[in-house]
Structure 1
Amino acid sequence: MNQINVKTFNILAINFNHDGSAVILSDGRISAFLNTERFSKKKKHPGIREADLNQLLKQAGLQLEDISLMILCNIHSMDSDDIPKLYGSSLKESWFDFWVNQTLDKVWINGLELPCLVNPDHHLLHCSLAYYTSPFDSAVCFSWDPTGFGVFIGKDNKMTKVRYDIKTHFTCWWYNEVASQLFDTGIIGAGKVMGLAPYGYPGSLQNKRLEEFADMEEFFALSDNGGNPVMVEANGRQLNATLAYNVQALMEQQLGDIMNDLCKIAADNGVAANICLSGGGALNSVANQVAFRNSAFERIHLHPACGDDGTPIGAAMWYWFNQQDHPRIKYTNRDMMYSVTSYEDKIEQALSLPEYEGRIRVERTTDYIRQTAKHLADDKIIAWFQDGSEIGPRALGNRSILANPRNTDMKDILNSKVKFREGFRPFAPSVLNEFAAEWFGLSDSPFMLRVCDVLQDSIPAVSHVDKTARIQTVCEKDNPDYYTLISNFHSITGIPLVINTSFNIKGESIVETPQDAIHCLLNTQIDYLIFRNFIVSKFA
């Protein structure tokens, strides 16, 4: 009997907007992923370059001719002038060469013709990523960002668009404008607004709701608080924390109203009380939790790559499940959190480079986890590097800077001497999931996308000015080594969590390679860099 050769269906999807990224989905499973900025070192780098395309194919062990379909996402929707402002150009000149025909169903790359799709609905891609990676059989999906918003119902393997209107101002636009005013950039400054907002408590909204403002100018005028707003100094600038507080409050208010509407849509369409959130607006972890807590939804799901870096994954999953009618696949947290590329075979080579001779001290040890926990308990600052880098903007235990949450001064030390960023910005805890409810009143938050109250006084370094924290819960099955490290720290200190911030400094992308990690060690006051079986420190 002749054996039938069934060809794998490989979808290559690319995001050409900011947060450039690409994925290869092979029969519904991620076989390669990359985020362009991790390699170019230009934050928010749109699209991908020739080297990125080649690296992606190498990850998956494929040639370009093995690609069954290309999906080109967000190719005409550069939604911010921040990229030219940051780099002096749109960076489109860095993209690999390709040409699409007039009917938008064929693309030519390096002399090869491939079938393609161009620009599927932006919010469909966000919502598809959230829904298809969720554990839900049905859910209402909501995406919002400065381009707008979209509502979809997911049932089994199908996505259906729902007509929904926001009948007043759209806070994502206002939030972006506030970020631009305070930090000269919307796409990078939005996260800073969220961190600054609690310093402006109680704000000056005077009980006004969003729909009561005539326009944004009235909102800005009210946030000036009669010429007496709460100001916070950062890097020699005075920042209007009242303005940040007010726009955050309006975002929480609007998302709460939307969730109430979505609950009704779920009930009317026979959908379970499940909500999937996505889009750049869903990176606002404070608003996520406030709105969800006050809603009638019972369960919530977000993918760690809520922003545009996740849209190619959403596009590929939408095509595989919705368009090709394949049954749903169960994705683990680890599938969602980490890319497939491991650098374990490159570590010794990097440590042996001549440029580091006399600059780093390398200790080889299989006891590196226990020793690292002891260093953390002794207030040493640790850079932790293992396996593939995180998917999405949050460090989730593979490219993390770690520290002792008990030290009252640690927040200021990390901001000023390691991250080189504004002093008001908080740090997140990674907590063993089985202790999360006791310490934070919340469990099962593996992607650092929900904010909750800090219930204990013994961890001041992760308690923001309003006594909240954006937590990552850690389970052994998701990241065994990271779980073991925190467990060792717990055994030493009685504290089941550590400070976790992204392994980078202000203005730079999260480190990708072992050389990136060594470079960051040498240019900060990080005490130890931990690779698997290696403890690296600087010569005095």
Structure 2
Amino acid sequence: MVIVLGFNGFSRGAGLFARHYRATGIDRHMLFGHDSGAALVVDGRLAAAVEQERLNREKKTSAFPLDAIRWVLDEAGLALGDVDAFAFSWRFSDEVLNAMIAEIADGDGTADQKFGRLKRLTSIYEGMFSRAAVLGDFEEHTGFRIEPERLRTVPHHIAHLMCGYGISGGGDTAFLISDGRAEWLSAIMGEIRGGQVRVFDDASIDSRHSLAMLFGVITRYLGFTPNNDEYKVMGLGGYAEPAGTPPGNPFLEHVLELREGGTYRIPYHPRAVRAYYELFDRIFGTGPEGREDFALRVRVARAAQEMVEVATAHQVAALRARSDLPRLVFEGGLALNCVNNTKLLEESGYDEVEVSYGASDPGVAIGAAFSVAHEAGDALVPPVSPYLGPEYGDAAIEAALERYAGRVRSRVLDDVAAETAALLEEKVVVGWYQGRTEYGPRALGNRSILANPRFADIKDIINTRIKHREPFRPFAPIVLEDIAPDVFVMGKKRTSPYMTFVFPVQPAHVDAIPGAAHVDGTSRIQTVTREGNPLMAELLAAFTARTGVPCLINTSFNVAGEPIVNAPEEAIACFLNTEMDYLVLGRRLVTKA
């Protein structure tokens, strides 16, 4: 049996990037190690995992994951001394560092400017990237000294790959990994055959031509937070006419250059924000004063979405030509673009496209641990539930309610599913807090806000009164897997358990669930089985039996800018600080005093 602790996060990352690269304010997420977390794999089985943000309450934190490490070990009844290997989700090898140094040496600027960049790289390397820095960081925070041979560094893209590979059940598969940047590259492709990973190196994209970083600059241009709000751009693009408004795509004409072999080039460095803003203003015929115009923002967002679709389709076509495997694992931050995922599935020729609940950087802690276990010869054990984090029992819930005595009232429900379904018949918003915390950026039915989708204005109610976010944002439906194809046009998919694909609503159900459909008639669905989440499946069955409505709105239990709630106290605080109508906290129905 091999016990592997996977982790991601740099304690000094935020300070170093703020000092050297001004990564603060709107750019505060543009650094290495964000979405820190920890995962424990025992004998090939993912035993526990939690994101550090759920415990320190700092969204997308890059902090050293001390709380997460402590929790996963406590959950398994283990100590640091029991761990056989410590898997860190970054590897800054000599090859990587040589490439980074060469980029500086070959780049524009004077000798003094280049030496300044080298000094910054040296500071970052010594403070974060070197093995000595990783070992020192771990010992400083935990008091435990890892024997150097027990620290296994895993290339960031391979950690992404092994997260998706393990969660999807392993087996032979082609893969595409695309994110902002790993150590040096921004995208890789290849295949896993017979358990052996083969990267097609000539098709890799270096970070100077990062599609995801360009999408982040567009996100910033539209007034959102880069490396955080890209999904808002995807949603905003849905307001455009299907062919774009007006015809033509300035990004495809002036920015993205497709090349042979599935590669592409982007003419400006992704950090050159000012140059990009000037370019975008020119090609879209606007200026700083016109960037707030909704029609322009929709046009830019739709063009950006189409650019992502064209670039990834170009990569996947090249991958299909080199690998005859019928299945694709797609991971990395760009794989959270669920509109693109569905098009890849339906148009690429693959029988299956798999995108996990850990596709973005929360998943690399899992993937690093899976990678080391796989190399050690352990078979990765499917299925891998997303419900991997802390669970709080009746005693903890009672204690939390006692702390809020005078502000809330509560009673024990005789039948949690049936009585919650009865509440949801009306135009109400219900906080739903059950079982173990989900892993990843989506609420998957245990830390959720629920509502009845038959009310067309329920989206406005949740956006303005609960979530405090932009009014154009859509909401996702949660539906029983066995009836999902009757409600949504699922194409090749029969299951979508992680909200990573979108599907058109079947014509017969369009009028029944207006609150769960985007303006373009699609929904980013989560399918649920009785085996995977028995209580949620029971609630859905009871709700449908009472109302004839086949799904519920499911959005994450938080407000804008905050992590999804974890502990009962956080659920109660969120409930009290919003206009939620009810909170179902375990077996307790909570109302405001």
TM-score (norm 1): 0.86
1:366–1:142 distance in 2 versus 1, CA, 3 Å: same
Alignment of structure 1 residues 27-426 onto 2, 5 Å: 27-74=43-90, 100-101=131-132, 108=139, 110-114=143-147, 115-117=149-151, 119-135=153-169, 137-147=171-181, 148-165=186-203, 170-201=210-241, 202-204=244-246, 206=248, 210=252, 213=255, 215=267, 217=276, 220-221=280-281, 224-225=284-285, 240-267=297-324, 272-321=325-374, 323-329=375-381, 331-332=382-383, 335-353=384-402, 355-426=403-474
Q: Deviations over 1:201-223 (max 9, x none)?
A: 42346156737547464862466
Higher helix share: 2
Cα contact 1:182–1:239 (8 A) shared by 2 = no
Task: Quote the Cα distance in structure 1 between the aligned partners of 2:372 and 2:164.
Answer: 14
Unpaired runs of 5+ residues, structure 1, are 1-7, 80-96
Q: Deviations over 1:395-445 (max 9, x none)?
A: 110000000100011000000000011111100000111221121111300
Q: Secondary structure at the match of 1:525?
A: coil
Task: Quote the Cα distance in structure 2 between the aligned partners of 1:48 and 1:421.
Answer: 29
Query: Is 1:444 matched up with 2:505?
Result: no
Count of matched residue pairs: 502
Unpaired runs of 5+ residues, structure 2, are 10-32, 101-127, 257-266, 269-275
Cα contact 1:38–1:512 (8 A) shared by 2 = yes
Cα contact 1:199–1:241 (8 A) shared by 2 = yes
1:174–1:209 distance in 2 versus 1, CA, 3 Å: closer
Task: Quote the Cα distance in structure 2 between the aligned partners of 1:213 and 1:52.
Answer: 41
Higher strand share: 1
Task: Quote the Cα distance in structure 1 between the aligned partners of 2:290 and 2:306.
Answer: 16
Q: Secondary structure at the match of 2:431?
A: strand
1:150–1:117 distance in 2 versus 1, CA, 3 Å: farther
Task: Quote the Cα distance in structure 1 between the aligned partners of 2:5 and 2:429.
Answer: 39
Q: Secondary structure at the match of 2:532?
A: coil
TM-score (norm 2): 0.79
1:166–1:208 distance in 2 versus 1, CA, 3 Å: farther
Give the RMSD, CA atoms, in angstroms.
Answer: 2.9
Task: Quote the Cα distance in structure 2 between the aligned partners of 1:506 and 1:264.
Answer: 43
1:314–1:51 distance in 2 versus 1, CA, 3 Å: closer
2:560 is matched by which residue type in structure 1? K
2:193 is matched by which residue type in structure 1? K
Q: Deviations over 1:89-116 (max 9, x none)?
A: xxxxxxxx99954998997452534343
Q: Secondary structure at the match of 1:501?
A: strand
Task: Quote the Cα distance in structure 1 between the aligned partners of 2:134 and 2:415.
Answer: 59
Task: Quote the Cα distance in structure 1 between the aligned partners of 2:193 and 2:152.
Answer: 25
Percent identical: 31
- Tell me the CA shift for residue 164 of structure 1: 4.0
Q: Which is worse superposed, 403-412 or 67-76? A: 67-76
Q: Which residue number in structure 2 is paired with residue 90 of structure 1?
A: none
Q: Secondary structure at the match of 1:240?
A: helix
Task: Quote the Cα distance in structure 2 between the aligned partners of 1:262 and 1:508.
Answer: 38
1:219–1:153 distance in 2 versus 1, CA, 3 Å: farther
